[in-house]
Amino acid sequence: MRSASICDLLAGHSFIVTLILDYDAGNLGSVKRACTEVGLNAEFSAHPDAVTQAERIIFPGVGAAGSAMRSLRERGLDTALKSAIASGTPVLGICLGMQVSLDYSEENDTQTLGLIGGRVCRFKLNRPELKIPHMGWNEVRVKQSHPVLAGIEPGDEFYFVHGYFPSTTQPEHALAVTDYEDDFTCALGKNNYIGTQFHPEKSGRVGLRLFENFARWDGVWQPDGAAPQNGGDDHAE
């Protein structure tokens, strides 16, 4: 007898699970363990219908932008993600999942999802002691308040492993920065979407706090000084 899929669970029960998007980009197990630690009922799925029905979505990933986008498009997950964003579903992008949420990545010269305006650039470093990829623990400095980043204090460090970094065309969407020779944006937010370059699932206590915050977040956020918005992303068509 086959095991129940997330679509079976969604169709047969009144509760709705958190969906961890499975698009062959790895790192799913550690995300699921972090969800379990904070009491999030999370399931893996690569099915577009599950994406559009889930209460909240975690969009993780490690690997290359080109292969990630091919996998998303072949499965119809690019369209499903845009539909979920437009409907107001809270979405958390992690590492590669965050990078392919922008418009373009220099990695493999890849057109990406366009959920947030901007591009992903390769590090070009001058200090020989700094290596690519950027790997290890580094301080995250919050620049704009956001419910998912609540409780992150000065000096709190998160785990990074990446050779590319996001550069948004809309400064109001930059939530936090990290220094690696120069400051780069390491967390982005727009409406009901938030993405992190760092790996909260590999960041111990402070990372679990971020998952706890995401579990409580209703998807409503506004940049400092802006009117509240929810869903209806002008990039998600």
Show which residues are catalytic: 95, 199, 201
The residues pairing with 91 across neighbouring beta strands, listed in sequence order, are: 57, 193
Amino acid identity at 159: Y
Sequential DSSP letters for 140-154? -EE-S--GGGTT--T
The Cα 140–Cα 160 span in angstroms is: 10
- Rg for the chain (alpha carbons), in Å? 17
- For residues 104 and 119, the answer to whether their CB atoms sit within 8 Å is yes
Amino acid identity at 26: G
Backbone φ and ψ for 152, nearest 5 degrees, come out as -75, 120
The Cα 86–Cα 232 span in angstroms is: 4
Per-residue DSSP letter, 173: G
Query: What does each C-alpha distance from 182 to 126, 135, 176 come to in angstroms?
Result: 10, 15, 13
The Cα 177–Cα 141 span in angstroms is: 5
The Cα 84–Cα 96 span in angstroms is: 19
Backbone φ and ψ for 72, nearest 5 degrees, come out as -60, -45
